[in-house]
Structure 1
Amino acid sequence: MKNYKPNTSGDVRAKKHLGQHFLKDENIASKIADTLSYSGYYKVLEIGPGMGVLTKYLLEKDAEIHVIEIDRESVEFLESNYLHLRDRIHEKDFLKVDLQSLFGAEEFAIIGNFPYNISTQIVFKVLQHRDQIPEFSGMFQKEVAKRICEKEGSKAYGILSVLTQAFYTAEYLFTVPPSVFSPPPKVDSGVLRLQRKENFHLACDEKLFYRVVKTSFNQRRKTLRNSLKSLNLPGNLREDIIFDKRPEQLGFQQFIDLTKMIEPYAVSSK
């Protein structure tokens, strides 16, 4: 592998409080590296590289690879073993970092074997910065990956499904068993890919859209007529047939349409 120096400094200890499960299967690492298109952008950010099993396959791609890692021991390992990467190793917390401080206004893709305990927060941050992130792929707990990609009508379908699919095309790619990690997690993992919908404009107030989706699913067993009571909508509006449905019955476009209906009567939290 180019830009890779064999490990001479010992393994990094997986830390439970960071949710670390280090990928050890080279074939899976190679498959994950291949999930991005590397097209339309030049820079790629890997979140949580650990000991760089995925990193070395990313470094073979025609892209400028950056990694962001909060664990000092992992950073030291990467600095010792990936010498040509040293200037692009960012010892920071992805959830707290200002992405423009890393890339300015440039577009970049994100990839990684994401810690389960912050994976949904990572997706929400990607949605906030979608103007800069055309593509995103990586490994999640299988249940979470399936939920992100799930379509309406399923019990797994929820807030994360709707909000992600409004802006990205979501695709579940393959399942990964616990045995390919050290230490092995107690559940299967799943790899997904998100590709941004180009020239897409959310035809409603975005903050109100988020509010409607989250409020609807907070009482997902109830009809929208009941779950959206807190919005204090007029009775004649709430007689519309869409309010007879439960939230999991609506696709993201129907939630956009619902938000447009509500917009003249609800105050968005701008």
Structure 2
Amino acid sequence: MNYDQHFIKDDLVAARIVKYARVSSKYKVIEIGSGNGVITKQLVKKSPVTTIEIDPKLCEELEKLKLPNLKVINKNILSYNIDFDIAVSNLPFNICEPYFNILIKKEFKRCVFCVPISFSNRLTNEQGLLSLIIPLFFKIKVLETIPREAILPIPKTDCAIISVVPQRICSKKNSVIKEIYLQMDKKLKVAIRESYCKVLKLTKKQANERLPKLDYLEKRVYMLNYIEWKQLILQI
């Protein structure tokens, strides 16, 4: 089975990732995808760690190392629910976006991830849905770039180490937009109405009266494109 695995081969890069994460024993720390264990070995020096690794062979190899402070769980992080304070990961390239959609529903202190630089650009720079929505939930900071040669197998793009910290203070408008985004399967008009009721404490009638004048209110939220989201945000 192909797990889209790319491993950090540089111990110094792994050490910097752990340093950025500021892990300690007072926090519940997880690692997503232990891979070859290069980050794991650095993490267990600082704190007890639970690593969630989908590949059973890699789990076996990690168990053989008998590292202190380590619990290994052979699960897919996209379907395995676990609470944490700090998450550290060289995120598998193919789960970057799906995992961020899980992360927006989590309560945590911070995450430090190594991701393709193309994905970090989508979060922070490019005009796209991710760069429009994700900043409502998180403060994203690019900490450094990593040359592709530091990764095995060598990917097509350089990578970036990013920090992800939840937005603690949010305007009422942004809170409404966040609530709408979290209701992906509902029709837009229903998601807006329920978000108004929850955040602004409006009655259902008041919320209906405040619905924006958009011609795609019958669409499901997950079907909205970048332009439609931009129009919606302007009218909320």
Q: TM-score, normalised by structure 1?
A: 0.65
Distance, in Å, in 2 between the alignment partners of 1:171 and 1:248 is: 23
Q: Which residue of 1 aligns with 2:158?
A: 188
Give the match for residue 241 of structure 1: none
Task: Report the secondary structure of 1:74's partner residue.
Answer: helix
Gaps of 5+ in 1: 1-14, 151-155, 216-227, 233-245, 262-270
Q: Within 2, Cα distance between the matches of 1:197 and 1:162? A: 14
Match of 1:208 in 2: 180
The AA in structure 1 aligned to 2:60 is E
CA distance change for structure 1 residues 80 and 58 in 2, over 3 Å: closer, same or farther? same
Once the two structures are superposed, the pairs formed by residues 153-192 of structure 1 within 5 Å of their partners are: 156-192=126-162
Kindly indicate whether residue 111 of structure 2 is the aligned counterpart of residue 128 of structure 1.
Answer: no
The CA deviation at 1:76 is: 0.6
* Residue 58 (str. 1) matches residue 43 (str. 2): yes
State the one-letter code of the partner of 1:149.
T
Rounded Cα–Cα distance in structure 2 between residues aligned with 1:85 and 1:73: 20
Among 8, 22, 26, the alignment partner of 1:23 is 8
The Cα shift of 1:120 comes to 0.9
**Which of the residues 27, 39, 43 maps onto 2:28?**
43
* Structure 2: segments with no counterpart, 5+ residues: 188-213, 219-226
Q: Which 4+ stretches in 1 moved above 4 angstroms?
A: 209-212, 246-250
**Cα distance change on mapping 1:158 and 1:58 into 2, 3 Å:** same
In structure 2, C-alpha distance between the alignment counterparts of 1:41 and 1:231, rounded to whole Å: 46
Which letter maps to 1:74? L
CA distance in 2, matches of 1:98, 1:249: 31
Structure 2 residue corresponding to 1:115, chosen from 64, 79, 92? 92
RMSD: 3.1
**Distance change in 2, residues 1:206/1:179 (3 Å):** closer
Q: Which residue of 2 aligns with 1:92?
A: 75
SS in 1 for 2:68: helix
The secondary structure found in structure 1 opposite 2:58 is helix
Identity %: 25
- Offset, 1:206: 3.8
Cα distance in 1 for partners of 2:4, 2:114 equals 13
CA contact (8 A) 2:18 2:39 kept: yes
CA separation of 1:40 and 1:163: change in aligned 2, threshold 3 A:
farther
Tell which deviates more after alignment, 160-169 or 118-127.
Answer: 160-169
Aligned residues: 201
